[in-house]
Structure 1
Amino acid sequence: MLSRLLPLVLAAGLLSAAPATAAGPTPVAPAVAPTSQPAPQQIVVREGPKVKGTHRFGKTLTRSVGRYSVGGLQVRTQWLRDGKPIKGATRWKYELGVRDVGHTVRVRVTVSKPGYRTLTHRSPWRKVKHVRDVRRTVKYSIATNGSMTTSVKTFKRQVAEILDDPRGWRAAGIKFKRVKSGGSMTIVLAQASRVPTYSSVCSSTWSCRVGRHVIINQERWKHASPAWNAAKGTTLRGYRHMVVNHETGHWLGWHHKSCGGKGQKAPVMMQQSKGRNGCTFNPWPKPSERNVPRYR
């Protein structure tokens, strides 16, 4: 019996062992060593970026890139106001604008090159000043005359903004400070029909200046003038700038001026409410008007 079973057992063993013998042991993939990347090299600053120019409204600043330990660098420029990026200010030069006055401006330069760590460096910051330092402070008050059909609060706020604007009489070195009453100048928002009560030379159609009073016609403040509104690109806010600067200019001692030539900016002391005679409308004193003839 055993002799008959033995061949069968051996056959079964051969059959079960055959796959292992034929295939052999399961191959194991050899370990692949990771490829090592060289660490980025350091860019050394030999001389940081600098800003050249006068930090005053209207002036143009330029920046130097600086000097570094390697050449062939890609350079990115960003001008900063109070540490925050100024939108669109990414060139090598930057003209100081209205929003910069009273704030700090500096430049940020970023240099990069393949195989090197990107490096960012900032220039020292400096505060931006008005065109001129204060030469005189004028105290003024705000008053109304007649029935008010516009916001007096807005009038007060916008007059203060106009008088302190770097483009206005502040560029002549005059600082205007509002007081509750009195002062050297009173700016009046007057009902149109009340304007002539200040002088026979005043009209209910226009604004006027009489003595210490700078009288702003309420209708002109609300609606500007037909000539102003008919011109392309003019705005009500622009008219308000112009009329306050014009009448304040009279208080400062300026008389009316005429257009200096077709296509030129009108002097702020021109009667732009009535027309421009070839000049373009302009709500701000021209540089030639900033040398105020006299102070009251």
Structure 2
Amino acid sequence: MTSYPPERPGLRRMRRRRRRAVLLLAMLLAAVGGAAGITRLSEPPRPVRVPLAAEPTLMPDADTAAAASPTGYPTAGPGTFAVADGRSPVRGHAGPLRRYRIEVEHGTGQDADAFAATVDAVLGDPRSWIASGELRVQRVPEAAAADFTVYLATPATSERMCAEGGLHTERYTSCRLPGRVVLNLARWMTAVPDYGAPLDVYRTYVVNHEVGHEFGELHQACPRPGAPAPVMQQQTYGLDGCLPNAWPYVDGARYSGEPTDGV
């Protein structure tokens, strides 16, 4: 058996100091690691970003839509109407009495009574249909008493109303159905490009033209270039060389052109 010399006291002290140093270092590392773990556990959780719900889109009312529209008038409306109050005098001297009612779509910015006054002035003019001596006209407020109604409606509503009778206006023109004269707000406000006459002339024309259909009149053609356009010519689509004319009677006589295939 091999025998070793006895360990010196100084070497034993050195080894004890080294073990204590290693032990202290291990304890220090354990303490630091524990503290770091505690710190991580004690940190508050990061907030989770939750997408905000989109705010509901509110449909503007018709007056707001009119103000926002580049045209200055709404192109669509609620489809409900205000009725003009009161009644006009009977206009005309002979013939059956044709009573009409006036309705203006809500939100158009147009007053029903003011619109009614314009229609009254057109239909009661001696150059209008009463000049035939074969009919009289009067505006009434009651639906039951009216033979027909004149509506002023936004392009979308007028298209829908006209389509009920099979007429498709592309939101551009006015129309007449039995008992219904539907005037397009866009045409009432702006007439048509290159019409060549003031807005009130076009308005007079469109009232007489559509009401003329209600009285049984059919479309007519331009007689010749430079002549007045017959009121039953489709002047909204162009004058074909004729000049703007808003009245069925010119210089006291019925003014007309050749019938066309259109109605």
C-alpha distance in 1 between matches for 2:227 and 2:255: 14
From 172, 197, 205, the counterpart of 2:132: 172
From 102, 127, 132, the counterpart of 1:142: 102
Partner in structure 2 of residue 278 of structure 1: 241
Tell me, what secondary structure is at the counterpart of 2:172?
coil
Tell me, what secondary structure is at the counterpart of 2:182?
strand
- How many aligned residue pairs are there? 156
Aligned-residue RMSD, C-alpha: 1.8
Tell me, what secondary structure is at the counterpart of 2:239?
coil
Unmatched runs of 5 consecutive residues or more in structure 1: 1-129, 291-296
Is 1:141–1:179's contact at 8 Å kept on the other side of the alignment? Answer: yes
Partner in structure 1 of residue 180 of structure 2: 213
Larger radius of gyration: 2
C-alpha distance in 1 between matches for 2:158 and 2:106: 9
Following superposition, the deviation at residue 225 of structure 1 comes to 1.1
Greater share of residues in strand: 1
Runs (4 or more) in structure 1 with deviation over 3 Å come to 286-290
Partner in structure 2 of residue 202 of structure 1: 168
Tell me, what secondary structure is at the counterpart of 2:115?
helix
Following superposition, the deviation at residue 138 of structure 1 comes to 0.7
Following superposition, the deviation at residue 289 of structure 1 comes to 5.3
Greater share of residues in helix: 2
Is 2:162–2:176's contact at 8 Å kept on the other side of the alignment? Answer: no
Unmatched runs of 5 consecutive residues or more in structure 2: 1-90, 257-263
Q: Which amino acid aligns with 1:257?
A: Q
TM-score (norm: length of structure 2): 0.56
Tell me, what secondary structure is at the counterpart of 1:227?
coil
Following superposition, the deviation at residue 146 of structure 1 comes to 5.0
Percent identical pairs in the alignment equals: 33
Partner in structure 2 of residue 152 of structure 1: 112
Partner in structure 2 of residue 247 of structure 1: 210
TM-score (norm: length of structure 1): 0.50
Partner in structure 1 of residue 194 of structure 2: 227
C-alpha distance in 2 between matches for 1:157 and 1:148: 17
Partner in structure 2 of residue 288 of structure 1: 254
Q: Which amino acid aligns with 1:202?
A: H
C-alpha distance in 2 between matches for 1:221 and 1:175: 25
Tell me, what secondary structure is at the counterpart of 1:141?
strand
